[in-house]
DNA sequence: TTGTTCATGAGAACCATTATCCACAGCAGA
DNA sequence: TCTGCTGTGGATAATGGTTCTCATGAACAA
């Protein structure tokens, strides 16, 4: 009751492992699986346990600092994202991601849900394609 | 070369197990997991192996007769769907599903992708909420 | 009916994710 | 500085959905 409730991350400590993970995510610009991130950390010498990677990712998601996406194989992929509501345009081939926003889509989702009596609505809009570079590379 | 290539399901046999699965899917109107479907088949006496359920579901998806959805836990859910392109409005609580279409969203996705140089675009739009009945039930 | 070939089913294998256990680190108060 | 509390890390086991293996059985064409 006496703790500063307004603090962003109450009772969350800053450790070498979490810093390394956040730094890595800042460098990457596409969605990466937890397994990938764990392997990348090991490669660069920042040895971190797999369970720790999962815990840290989950914590960051809870804090709204990461976005999660489920691929067609069910594996979760993570990415550092802006805190405002947005959707993604993801390259199937290289994983590069563009954040996009579109108020009309938001309105459409709310309207459609209301028309059918649905409440507490969330929507999920992701666009997958092949980016210009990968298309060019595939042609060579 | 001599087979009827135009046949809907070339080289796919009709078996008791597949018929039972399709019949079950026709009766249900929400997304169900493979595990659920397997349990339901057992309950009604149509004993079918779990592996068979997965194989049959995969085959139906390949033939475009089923839609797949990945829940937040990564579990796949299946549903009998109309063959034309559409999206879903899914009740988080009871799983009931409404199929919706919206050409503007389709156009928006294509336009957005083109602006960023993406090609071979697919999009995924799902809206989750709580349907009127479940909202009412929760209030009681 | 017969032969070929695909489908089935039980269980093992697989793999991402989560839980468990215990040692350790950071911080607060004595 | 010492001590105790609590969150964290790491290794590993457990979990659970999905896929694979392979011997057996069923569908279909001739």
Per-residue pLDDT tens digits for A44-90: 888 899 999 999 999 999 888 899 999 888 899 999 988 888 999 99
Chain B, nearest residue to A101 by Cα: B112
pLDDT of residue B51: 97
pLDDT of residue B37: 97
Percent of chain A with pLDDT over 90: 54
Chain A touched by B139 (CB under 8 Å) = no
Task: Give the CA angle between residues A88, A127, B126 to the nearest 5°.
Answer: 95
Is the pLDDT confidence value at A8 over 70? Answer: no
pLDDT of residue A64: 85
Mean pLDDT, to the nearest integer, of A18-40? Answer: 93
Q: Which nucleotides of D are covered by protein (CB under 7 A)?
A: 6-13, 17-21, 26-28
CA of B15 to C1' of C3 (A): 19
- Is A58 in contact with A73 (CB distance < 8 Å)? no
Q: Given A100, A102, A113, which is nearest B127 (Cβ)?
A: A113
pLDDT of residue B9: 55
Token pair listed for A63: 């804090």
Task: Give the CA angle between residues B64, B129, B97 to the nearest 5°.
Answer: 30
pLDDT of residue B10: 58
Q: How many CB pairs under 8 A join A and B?
A: 108
């Amino acid at each position: 009751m006496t703790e500063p409730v307004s603090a962003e991350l109450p009772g969350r400590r800053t450790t070498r492992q979490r810093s390394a993970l956040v730094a890595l995510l800042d460098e990457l610009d596409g969605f990466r699986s937890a397994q990938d991130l764990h392997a990348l950390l090991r490669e660069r010498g920042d040895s971190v346990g797999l369970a720790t990677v999962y815990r840290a990712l989950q914590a960051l998601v809870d804090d709204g600092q990461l976005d999660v996406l489920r691929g067609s194989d069910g594996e979760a992929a993570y990415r550092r994202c802006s805190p405002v509501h947005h959707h993604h345009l993801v390259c199937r081939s290289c994983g590069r991601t563009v954040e996009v926003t579109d108020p009309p889509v938001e309105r459409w989702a709310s309207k459609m849900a209301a028309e059918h009596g649905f409440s507490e609505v969330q929507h999920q809009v992701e666009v997958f394609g092949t980016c210009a570079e990968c298309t060019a590379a595939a042609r060579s």
